[in-house]
Structure 1
């Protein structure tokens, strides 16, 4: 006997299967559209991040920070900044001025079309305001090296900050109200655990302090021979970024004599020159 229910059941199963396949296709297409939308959104976000974050398109590992140093209190160590483009940067810095050697240093810098950073002692600036103005007019960067330079770090951190503030006031008086730099250098550098309270106090007062990772060693004596200064430079000039310590002081005449050779050596090594600002 023929089963009359067989044909309708078969048709119903085929219809259900077809509906099921259609639903799967719709879900698959919807999933593809969502993935495509998310990829587009992520791409746009990355493009926006490259612009707003100032990340170089040439190198994903190089971060370009368009913030002035004077706006960032605390220790500044430019030699730790990694640059994938291979650029080599030298920062020439001179402590203790202004002095009888200032104009000679400026002349050498101008001959080489280079600017430097000068960390001035407040009382020396008071005695030589015209030299300070000449440095500013020449395009050099002016930093704070305390007012008295009589710092042995046995005084309180409050006294230290007061000495910095006094120097800052002197520089502002000479240069004008537009002088807003908070860049400082500790006498003798800010190294060591013992100076931690002084570093903290300077940071809380809004100062950005910088040491060095290269030097001519002119602080080791009075008018050391030029070959000695150059040998020190050769020994310590390592890496893509060097902050070079030198001194603008009356007893540093050989520093002036060595400066042209210092510049030529750094140029030969592929360094370009910038200022701390």
Structure 2
């Protein structure tokens, strides 16, 4: 864990600061920098600061992964129709309570050959503040729903909001999950303009990239329509996360 190494580095720096009798402001500056790195590491899953997450595939082939978070929802069937029409498989990181709300859609995701992953039971806005035991409960409850409704098990897990910290790292380790990140973030839940979302994704397309989207709106569906055309024109194929 990079966090432990950074703590050691920070402590050694403090020893040197003390040894050379630096001013108090140096301690303050060091603490501010330390805090900034920890916060950055918590929110940027690609850094692997607290958890080593899979964020890309090493490949020489022109292929990318389409991943969808926060479903299933009322919009998911349209996404599935589009993917089926184009003979494309994707990876869906599903929320437990959403699976309970749309069980037939979840079963369809599996039946049509897509990969599913755990995205916690409730996708709590307080994810970053939960204890390790609470995070384990969130992951395990989602696993139970996946097994009950989908009759499958998965070791794939994507942290809500991409947030990681020592408690989340412990929960992932204890539940035997494989943390999955991304290196192309669409920000489709934040950006309103479909064209801006499309440009944000396509300008970052490279071999082995993992694209993060959400099957939660008609807006993202429209972006996906254009994205699939783009991938076809550029001769890109797709892979699912379980095939890395």
The question of a shared fold, defined as TM-score above 0.5 by the shorter chain, is answered with: yes
> How far did 1:216 drift?
2.3
Tell me what 1:135 maps to.
109
Return the offset for 1:257.
Answer: 1.0
Q: Is the 8 A contact 2:202 2:227 kept in 1?
A: no
Matched, 1:104 2:74: no
Q: Structure 2, unaligned stretches of length 5 or more?
A: 1-50
1:240 corresponds, among 189, 207, 216, to 207
Please state how far the C-alpha of 1:187 moved relative to its aligned partner.
0.5
1:115–1:275 CA contact under 8 A, matched in 2: yes
> Residue 230 of structure 2: which of 258, 262, 265 is its match?
265
Cα shift readout 1:170-202 (whole Å, capped 9, x = no counterpart): 1100012xx1211111110145xxx13312331
1:113 aligns with 2:87: yes
Offset at residue 78 of structure 1 (A): 5.3
Say whether the 8 Å CA contact 1:190–1:199 is kept in structure 2.
no
Q: 2:63 and 2:178 mapped to 1: Cα distance?
A: 20
How many residues are paired up?
191
Matched, 1:160 2:125: no
Distance 2:166 2:189 in 1: 23
Question: 1: CA distance between counterparts of 2:84 and 2:177?
Answer: 29
Contact 1:120 1:145 in 2 (8 A): yes
Distance 1:143 1:80, change over 3 A: closer
Asked if structure 1 preserves the Cα contact closer than 8 Å seen for 2:68 and 2:215, the reply is yes
How far apart, in 2, do the equivalents of 1:99 and 1:261 lie? 21
How much has 1:270 moved relative to structure 2?
Answer: 3.1
TM-score of the two chains, using structure 1 as the length reference: 0.65
Query: Hey, what does 1:197 align to over in structure 2?
Result: 167
SS where residue 188 of structure 1 aligns?
A: helix
Higher Rg: 1
Which of 155, 158, 181 is 1:182 aligned to?
155
Structure-2-length-normalised TM-score: 0.73
Q: Which residue of 2 aligns with 1:207?
A: 177
Matched residue SS, 1:220: coil
Q: 1:147 aligns with which of 121, 143, 150?
A: 121
Deviations 1:9-42 (A, max 9, x none): xxxxxxxxxxxxxxxxxxxxxxxxxxxxxxxxxx
The CA deviation at 1:235 is 2.9
Counterpart of 2:161 in 1: which secondary structure? coil
Which whole-Å deviations, capped at 9, do the CAs of 1:56-113 have from their partners, x for residues lacking one?
Answer: xxxxxxxxxxxxxxxxxx74425262x4xx3122110010111111110001101110
C-alpha deviation, 1:231, in angstroms: 1.2
Q: How much has 1:269 moved relative to structure 2?
A: 2.9
Unpaired segments of 5 or more residues in structure 1?
1-73
